[in-house]
Amino acid sequence: MEFIAQEIDRLNRLIEQNIDKESNIRFKQELSQASYLLEIFENYKINKNTVETILELPDSDTGYSEYRVINDCESDNPDCWIELRVKEEKIRLTEGDIIIKKK
């Protein structure tokens, strides 16, 4: 991460000096994206040793539907299930959202 931050600083200096400005702006944006993703990986401990699988939710073919995350409360009876809330908000997922299953 430190290397990326140093490289972004170097690119900023080149951009200020109008040296290959467009190319350096694009490269800086790419490095910023990489830095953002690395921060997420570090915060959630996502790496090749912790990820079991990555799933992209498919189109439900039911019009505009949402996927819901539930706690089944160790029951096959849907009446016993509780919808997951994080920070008092229900989690609603749609086609194309990604789920990372950790080991």
pLDDT tens per residue across span 4-17: 999 999 999 999 99
Q: What band does 82 get if pLDDT is binned at 50, 70 and 90?
A: very high
pLDDT for position 64: 82
pLDDT in tens, 18-55: 999 999 999 999 999 999 999 999 999 999 999 999 99
| Sign for the pseudo-dihedral over CA of 61, 62, 64, 70 | negative
Residue 1 above 90 pLDDT?
no
Distance CA 91, CA 103 (A): 22
Instruction: Please state at what angle helix 21-43 crosses helix 2-16, rounded to 10 degrees.
Output: 160
User: Could you tell me if residue 67 is left (phi over 0), alpha (psi between -120 and 50 degrees) or otherwise beta?
Assistant: beta
